[in-house]
């Protein structure tokens, strides 16, 4: 089981590396274009040929900042997203009675997001763990 987990983590790490490389490449293109425009703007201050609009510079700056945020967010999400806090295995999302909960197949843990317990409690029908939760908290 440990060997399988190590292999799975290595695959996730490889996927993350590929995503980071793609985002770095995208950010590199944007940064290169931004640098070119800044250099062109500096040259245009010396010789007023082909001015760069402030709106174009601001647009590129926003794209660059967004690309960096996306890269950071993707890295953060991949590390902790849908991982069981108890055993470290992947969680699966299941839907029952119009409520989506996360379940760990390895340790049988069930994790609820904000408002999901209340939705289960409000449900009149139910079976299995949902009825048990309603009975426990209701």
Task: Return the domain boundaries, the chain.
Answer: 2-80, 91-137
pLDDT in tens, 32-47: 888 888 888 777 666 5
Confidence (pLDDT) at 10: 85
pLDDT band at 113 (very low <50, low <70, confident <90, very high): confident
Q: What are phi and psi of 113, to 5 degrees?
A: -85, 170
pLDDT band at 61 (very low <50, low <70, confident <90, very high): confident
Mean pLDDT of 72-89: 74
Helices marked H in the chain: 2-46, 54-80, 116-122, 129-137
- How many C-beta atoms lie closer than 10 Å to residue 6's C-beta? 10
Smallest CA-to-CA distance from 119 within 133, 99, 138, 105 is with 99
């Amino acid at each position: 089981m440990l060997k399988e987990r190590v292999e799975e983590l290595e695959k996730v790490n490889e996927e993350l590396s590929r995503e980071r490389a793609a985002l770095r490449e995208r950010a590199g293109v944007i940064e290169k274009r931004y640098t070119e425009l800044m250099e062109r703007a500096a040259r245009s201050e010396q010789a007023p040929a082909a001015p760069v609009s402030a709106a174009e510079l601001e647009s590129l700056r926003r794209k660059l900042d967004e690309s960096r945020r996306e890269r950071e967010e993707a890295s953060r999400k991949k590390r902790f997203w849908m991982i069981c806090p108890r055993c470290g295995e992947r969680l699966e999302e299941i839907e029952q009675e119009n409520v989506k909960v996360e379940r760990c197949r390895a340790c049988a843990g069930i994790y609820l997001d904000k408002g999901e317990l209340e939705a289960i409690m409000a449900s009149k029908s139910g079976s299995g763990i949902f009825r048990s939760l309603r009975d426990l908290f209701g």
